[in-house]
Amino acid sequence: MRPLLFLATLLLTASALVAKPNVLLIVADDLGYNDVGFQGSKEIPTPNLDKLAAQSLVCTNGYVSHPFCSPTRAGIMTGRYQQRFGHENNPAWLPEDTVAGLPLTETTYPQLMQQAGYTTGAVGKWHLGAHPQFHPNKRGFDEYFGALGGGHLYFPGEKGGVEYSIPLNRNGKDEAQTKYLTDQFGDEASSFIGRHAGEAKPWMLYLAFNAPHTPLQAPQKWLDKFSQIADKSRRTYVAMVASMDEAVGEVLAKVDATNQRDNTLIYFVSDNGGPNLQAKSGSNFTDNAPLRGSKGMVYEGGMRVPFLVSWLGKIKPGTYDQPVIALDFLPTSLAAAGAAELTPKNLDGVNLLPFLNEEKTGSPHDTLFWRTGGPGGNNAIRRGSMKLVRLGKAEPELYDLATDISESKNLAAEKPEVVQELASAIAEWEKGTIVPIFESPRAGKPAVKKKKGE
């Protein structure tokens, strides 16, 4: 009997050693680079995110693949530059449009995690197509609860545009909003984690807050807490960030309470930099310091974001200074799951684990690219510490991010050979991209509906 017990113990121990980690990906929406404590904010208390940062590698050169909402999400969902498949704009809210969304030809992150043996769930903002064919349940998520459009009102009963007032959606069926939306998303994420704790299958959860994206709406308890901030827009935005931090804390507490923390790989990122809404609001209520630019721009403030990777016992906390990008989440997760063989060959993201664990030296990426507006639009490229910015037909700008994170000193005239090298690299990269397959909705103009056969 004893040999059998010993063998059983060995098998259980071996099973534990090779257990696939759960994967929790948390995405904030329009969060300013300097608007969380671990990035240096003194004005916004984010104790839960700061605690997570202390248990993470803080990637100081962490990027997303686009400077605004939907394209970044398309990149995260595929591990590929979204320009390769034409998802370079935000899709209009047109439930009859079969084009404006993440193309069905793309294999998605959750589909691959399902193949790796995971239960997959998504909570929050989708913004990857309004037609039913683009629904999260059709793209690899076993469970979904959230807002399918590009944003939503935060309080039940508020009135706004159609996209921001649609019912919430649970697995394809409408469901009423019951509370402040950030809190409701936090509750749903915690419920998912609790329901699947202790199951034989690991889980992957994509928690995509729409906070602190506009409209600026916050619970009174948080507005009261920041009553000393005179600017109303800034005060409300700060309250929204604090509310999101509280929701993140509740979700992480559920991971801890169900004894899953040591075996959960956690990512935190914003979908882009904070927007500059000076013209609309009278104040620029987000803070991207010390970066130049904001949401929508290919300067650092558009796509360099707060970026955390945590896996207790597997990734030593600290800072990581080499450039990484949210495209890396997909291959990194598959590698962590022991399913690297499922990784598609056409990815732009890479497995970060050997770099974060110091098994490999050097940079995970030789070069990173960004583009808005299709071919002939605005481009940026980073190779090493050198970054080239090309705004349409304007003369290229060159910056050394190692000494000039604020992109304040244009070195193009001093280093023409570097300008030429990077411009050539952009031209070569663009050969692997296509023109956008749909346009972003224009402010103040109705979305153009496609006729049958177009």
Task: Supply the residues annotated as catalytic.
Answer: 69, 127
> For residues 149 and 168, what is the distance between their CA atoms, to the nearest angstrom?
10
Sign of CA dihedral 298, 302, 304, 308: negative
| Identity of residue 238 | V
Residue 372 φ/ψ, nearest 5 degrees: -125, 150
What would the two tokens of residue 110 be? 């959750």
Q: Burial of 32 by CB count in 10 Å (0-12 exposed, 13-18 middle, 19+ buried)? A: buried
Sequence-ordered list of residues with C-beta below 8 angstroms from that of 365, at least 6 positions apart, any chain: 322, 323, 324, 325, 350
> For residues 12 and 17, what is the distance between their CA atoms, to the nearest angstrom?
9
Q: Which residues pair with 173 in a beta bridge?
A: 170
> For residues 197 and 202, what is the distance between their CA atoms, to the nearest angstrom?
8
E strand spans, 55-133: 57-59, 62-63, 119-125
Cα 139 to the chain's mean position, in Å? 17
Helix (H) or strand (E) holding 207: strand 203-208
